[in-house]
Chain A
Amino acid sequence: MKTYPKNYGYSASNRTSKWQYLIIAVALIFMALSALPNFFPKKQRLLIHSNGAEKAAIQASELYTQLADANLPVNAINSTEQGSELYFANLSDAKKAYERLVQVYGDEYTIMKSEKSGIPQWLVELGLEPIKLGLDLRGGVLFILDVDGDKAFSDRIVHIRDSVKSITRDNKIRDVNVAIANKEQVVVNIYQPQNLQKVAAEIQNRFPLLSMFYESDTQLKLFYAAAAKNSFHQEIMSQSLSTMRGRIEELGITEAVVQRQGRDRIRIELPGASNPDDVRPIIGATASLQFFQLQERGGKYFKTESGESIAVSPVPIFSGKHIKNAKAGRDEMGMPLVHLTLDAIGGDKMLRFSARNIGKPMVTVFSEYYQNTSGETLKKEKVISVATIQAQLGSRFSITHLSSPEKAQELALLLRAGSLDAPITIAKERTINATLGEKNIENGMAALTLGIGVTLLFMIAWYRQLGVIANVALSFNLLCLLGLMSLLPGAVLTLPGIAGFVLTVGMAVDTNVLIFERIKEELKRGRAVSIAVEQGYKNAFATILDANITTLLTALILYAIGYGPVKGFAITLGLGVLTSMFTGVFISKVLTRLFYTNSNSRREKGVMA
């Protein structure tokens, strides 16, 4: 084995080609740039303005003495004609100074606390941002929503009335009177008892939870018993909850807390959302889509955009809850549209309906709840399209005639996130602080630093020169992971994310340990250093690939099916696997070659063994 020519390490297959250096350089520079914004801490600042124009700004020296008297440190004071800016090292200093200054100047000056991002302007212009921290690490925005279950209930009663009407019409039953009484009951009068029974059977079939009471042979009362009404409410609440979860996930916020609060409220805590205005329209919207059959007369009436009045069958062919996926796009003419994919039930309904009605029009109605100026919740319904069914439609088709691509995007998002039967209003909106608190995060970071420090020291003590390579690779790995996490808009770092981080560090070290142990083995067998290095990387690679692919697989599944914290963990873990493959295998291989193929083999052996 030792008789290999000495220049084995320079043969074409072993040499690091220029493009490999190029890839590494480009990737590292790019990642370092993306990670850079994380290293500029936010500046804590106080702003002082005078209440009236007549009062002059306070002198910097005066502010300084005021704070120094109270033993409060300040980093910088910036006084101009308009007012003063004070910068502090941390939040608690800023708070203490705030309290002090309010005491002294509070009557004549407005004092405001504000954070200023410490990121240099050129980075901001590149569109780079620091990593987004989760609710537990940073705080976020709180929404409390009121779910109007009563409105949903009365809508349901109206729906039952319309269904009864349509059943009687379909069965060609005449002399029918259907009305709503006390907002809670539907009273059905049919003057032929056998017809009434027939209708009753069909209603029971469609609404199994509904109770029935025969006032007489010809009069039937339909209502929900207390238990059924309650379970209707539960159903509405859980539908609203899962729709909200869906919408928030669509927005790319993975670590939100969505909980039911009290009988008919929903509590949503959104980490990382510093601007509630971005989120409000999506959370607050109660949009749903329904597809109707056009009919000659009777049923429901809608006004089209051109002002024409059309009548549709009161019972929709299917509703938004059967929509599995919705994607905005454009047709051949470049007009905006939304592609829909229905679930099995919806697809089946559509298939049967369209087969029977080729050549007939179908009406698409978009409905949304909104509040008018006096605070009442009203339903706005809009006909999006009246289109002729050209062919039999299955579970995939599109909605056309949308006014703009933005509208198509919004409609697709709302449809993807599920429909809401109950109107929702935002009852409360507030910015909340972190659960863990500043101190705890500092402690956690100190702990992570210590852990990583111990790891780095150990690697150097154990592997010497190779340990240095492993440490360089590990640092690059952390840098790449930080960069990727900062780049991805949906990635939020939370406590579970830190678990992913710790695991990633462990696995990144593992990659190098696996390789180095192989190299040592090869050296023990008496191979030359350059061959041992190549063999070590080659042998360890299969193992590393197997281990990492399995982990990646786990991360992918967790990301696809899990939610919230599970998703956050999956993101860190998955990205960590990718970066540790890149740095642990690719970069450290190049580094090892650089170290060992260019120098005297006997000396290195002494270093490595």
Chain B
Amino acid sequence: MLNDKLSKLRFMGLFLTLFLVLISTGTMLVRGLNLGIDFTGGFITEFSTSQSIEPSKMEQALQAHIVGKFELTSAEDSTNWTVRQPELLSDGTKNDLLTSNAWLKNLQESVLVEKSNITIIPLDSDYIGTQIGQELIEQGGLAMLTALIMILVYLSMRFEWRFALGSVLALFHDIVVVIGIFAWTQLEFNLTVLASMLAIIGYSLNDSIIVADRIRESMKLNQGESLSHVINAAIRSTLTRTLITSGTTLATIGSLWWLAGAPLEGFSVALFFGIFVGTLSSICISATFPELTGLKVDYYQIKEQEARELQESI
């Protein structure tokens, strides 16, 4: 009874993940990603102030004047400032060099009101290209692809191709869903978020392998139970571990999300949901996929017997 229920849950979960992937792909196509300046390039404006100002105060002052998002850095003890703005505003209209630094004049007036003896000296304004060149995007894509293939090969060697493909599919699901969340919320997708995607890959794989490993072990020791039963038993016996590990990791990321504030928001959101769906997919996809594609429950026993026979014949 319990076994049937768990199998049902797993298959329902599989449909849920499929549904999530479809929704995410749809959202991505309709809304697109809100790419950060790292990816899009944009405008850079530099100015200096006659006195040092707290960066947080400057940020607040700028927020009142600049339409759309921007990035602020300071230099020379907060007297030299750099503002980066994306080329495309969030409503899709194009920013240009002229409007992109029109705020500088307004800022002069506002800061003057606030602190009477500060003058703002415009230094430079220019268009900047993306931080990631075309060749680097290609390189990054190549890195991902190579990583995936190597993982497939390694896992196929250690397990069976169905487990390997299942794990890679689960990983694919996690990435697509997280990208879908970014398309949905329109949170900025920047290099940091990209890095957290890489972390999700690592985590998702880890999860899938641990379940797969237990399934393999149970298959070797199995005495006449069905594959579905073996898989369910393996999931049940790793469930505590899965919940503890995911729970503690989510706690760490949750506190980042809660305490670290805006600069780490995208980063923690990506990791949080990535690990959440990663846990789900390790059970629903990577453990269920081999069953769907017709893995025989006595696969490892036959293999071991063959190995024994081979040894005896030698």
* Residue positions of A touching B, CB distance < 8 A: 92, 95, 99, 113, 139, 142, 238, 241-242, 245, 257-262, 265, 267, 430-437, 439-440, 443-444, 446-448, 450-452, 454-455, 458-459, 462, 495-496, 499-500, 502-503, 505-507, 509-510, 513-514, 517, 521, 539, 542-543, 546-547, 549-551, 553-555, 557-558, 560-566, 568-570, 573
Q: Given contacts A262-B126, A547-B205, is CB(A242)–CB(B260) below 8 Å?
A: no
Instruction: Please indicate the chain B residues that have their CB under 8 angstroms from the CB of A139 in the complex.
Output: 75
Task: State whether A259 touches B129 (Cβ < 8 A).
Answer: yes
Task: State whether B191 touches A564 (Cβ < 8 A).
Answer: yes
Known pairs A95-B52, A139-B75. 11 more at Cβ < 8 A?
A257-B131, A260-B129, A434-B73, A447-B256, A458-B244, A499-B195, A502-B249, A502-B271, A514-B210, A558-B143, A569-B195
A-B contact pairs, 5 of them (CB 8 A): A245-B136, A451-B251, A496-B192, A499-B198, A510-B241
A566's partner among B75, B78, B143, B244 (CB-CB below 8 A) is B143
Give 8 nearest A-B pairs by CB, closest first.
Answer: A451-B252, A496-B195, A260-B129, A506-B249, A561-B143, A447-B259, A432-B75, A450-B255
Instruction: Please indicate the chain A residues that have their CB under 8 angstroms from the CB of B192 in the complex.
Output: 495-496, 499, 565
Task: State whether A507 touches B206 (Cβ < 8 A).
Answer: yes
Task: State whether B128 touches A267 (Cβ < 8 A).
Answer: yes
Q: How far is the CB of A224 from chain B (nearest CB, A)?
A: 23
Q: Whole-angstrom distance between the alpha carbons of A238 and B132 in the complex?
A: 12
Instruction: Please indicate the chain A residues that have their CB under 8 angstroms from the CB of B248 in the complex.
Output: 454-455, 458-459, 506, 509
Q: Given contacts A257-B131, A458-B251, A496-B195, is CB(A521)–CB(B206) below 8 Å?
A: no
Q: Whole-angstrom distance between the alpha carbons of A451 and B41 in the complex?
A: 35
Q: Whole-angstrom distance between the alpha carbons of A500 and B196 in the complex?
A: 8
* Residue positions of B touching A, CB distance < 8 A: 41, 44, 52, 54-56, 71-78, 80, 82, 126-131, 133-136, 139-140, 142-143, 146-147, 150-151, 154-155, 158, 191-192, 194-196, 198-199, 201-203, 205-206, 209-210, 213-214, 217, 237-238, 240-241, 244-245, 247-249, 251-256, 258-261, 263-264, 267, 271, 275
Task: State whether A242 touches B133 (Cβ < 8 A).
Answer: yes
Q: Whole-angstrom distance between the alpha carbons of A538 and B26 in the complex?
A: 46
Chain B, Cβ-Cβ closest to A516: B241
Instruction: Please indicate the chain A residues that have their CB under 8 angstroms from the CB of B127 in the complex.
Output: 261-262
Q: Whole-angstrom distance between the alpha carbons of A560 and B209 in the complex?
A: 24
Task: State whether B206 touches A510 (Cβ < 8 A).
Answer: yes
Q: How far is the CB of B15 from chain A (nearest CB, A)?
A: 27
Q: Whole-angstrom distance between the alpha carbons of A123 and B260 in the complex?
A: 32
Q: Whole-angstrom distance between the alpha carbons of A496 and B195 in the complex?
A: 5
Task: State whether A509 touches B73 (Cβ < 8 A).
Answer: no
Task: State whether B256 touches A502 (Cβ < 8 A).
Answer: yes
Q: Given contacts A95-B52, A502-B252, is CB(A521)–CB(B259) below 8 Å?
A: no
Q: Given contacts A513-B244, A547-B209, is CB(A573)–CB(B133) below 8 Å?
A: no
Q: How far is the CB of B248 from chain A (nearest CB, A)?
A: 4
Main SS of the interface on chain A?
helix
Task: State whether B78 touches A433 (Cβ < 8 A).
Answer: yes
Task: State whether A265 touches B202 (Cβ < 8 A).
Answer: no
Q: Whole-angstrom distance between the alpha carbons of A99 and B79 in the complex?
A: 13
Q: Given contacts A433-B75, A502-B253, A505-B252, is CB(A447)–CB(B260) below 8 Å?
A: yes
Q: Whole-angstrom distance between the alpha carbons of A498 and B36 in the complex?
A: 20
Q: How far is the CB of B257 from chain A (nearest CB, A)?
A: 8
Instruction: Please indicate the chain B residues that have their CB under 8 angstroms from the CB of A513 in the complex.
Output: 241, 244-245
Chain B, Cβ-Cβ closest to A557: B147
Chain A, Cβ-Cβ closest to B132: A564
Task: State whether B73 touches A432 (Cβ < 8 A).
Answer: yes
Q: Whole-angstrom distance between the alpha carbons of A566 and B154 in the complex?
A: 22
Instruction: Please indicate the chain A residues that have their CB under 8 angstroms from the CB of B143 in the complex.
Output: 557-558, 560-562, 566
Q: Given contacts A259-B129, A506-B252, A543-B209, is CB(A431)–CB(B195) below 8 Å?
A: no
Q: Whole-angstrom distance between the alpha carbons of A347 and B61 in the complex?
A: 59
Q: Whole-angstrom distance between the alpha carbons of A503 and B249 in the complex?
A: 8
Q: Whole-angstrom distance between the alpha carbons of A470 and B210 in the complex?
A: 19
* Of A99, A260, A265, most B-chain CB atoms within 10 Å: A260
B146's partner among A561, A563, A569 (CB-CB below 8 A) is A561
Q: Given contacts A444-B256, A562-B139, A563-B136, is CB(A259)–CB(B131) below 8 Å?
A: yes
Q: Whole-angstrom distance between the alpha carbons of A565 and B248 in the complex?
A: 25
Q: Whole-angstrom distance between the alpha carbons of A418 and B102 in the complex?
A: 40
Q: How far is the CB of A213 from chain B (nearest CB, A)?
A: 33
Q: Whole-angstrom distance between the alpha carbons of A450 and B205 in the complex?
A: 26
Task: State whether A261 touches B255 (Cβ < 8 A).
Answer: no
Task: State whether B214 touches A448 (Cβ < 8 A).
Answer: no
Instruction: Please indicate the chain B residues that have their CB under 8 angstroms from the CB of A432 in the complex.
Output: 73-75, 80, 82
Instruction: Please indicate the chain A residues that have their CB under 8 angstroms from the CB of B126 in the complex.
Output: 261-262, 265
Q: Whole-angstrom distance between the alpha carbons of A430 and B80 in the complex?
A: 10
Instruction: Please indicate the chain B residues that have their CB under 8 angstroms from the CB of A521 in the complex.
Output: 237
Instruction: Please indicate the chain A residues that have their CB under 8 angstroms from the CB of B258 in the complex.
Output: 447
Q: Whole-angstrom distance between the alpha carbons of A566 and B41 in the complex?
A: 19
Q: Given contacts A242-B133, A517-B240, is CB(A261)–CB(B44) below 8 Å?
A: yes
Task: State whether A454 touches B256 (Cβ < 8 A).
Answer: no
Instruction: Please indicate the chain B residues that have their CB under 8 angstroms from the CB of A454 in the complex.
Output: 248, 251-252, 255
Task: State whether B55 touches A433 (Cβ < 8 A).
Answer: yes
Q: Whole-angstrom distance between the alpha carbons of A563 and B135 in the complex?
A: 11
Task: State whether A499 touches B77 (Cβ < 8 A).
Answer: no
Chain B, Cβ-Cβ closest to A269: B73
Chain B, Cβ-Cβ closest to A142: B75
Q: Whole-angstrom distance between the alpha carbons of A564 and B24 in the complex?
A: 28
A259's partner among B130, B154, B253 (CB-CB below 8 A) is B130
Instruction: Please indicate the chain B residues that have their CB under 8 angstroms from the CB of A448 in the complex.
Output: 252, 255-256
Task: State whether A451 touches B254 (Cβ < 8 A).
Answer: yes
Task: State whether A437 touches B151 (Cβ < 8 A).
Answer: no
Q: Given contacts A510-B241, A562-B143, is CB(A554)–CB(B131) below 8 Å?
A: no
Q: Given contacts A433-B74, A462-B244, A513-B245, is CB(A499)–CB(B129) below 8 Å?
A: no
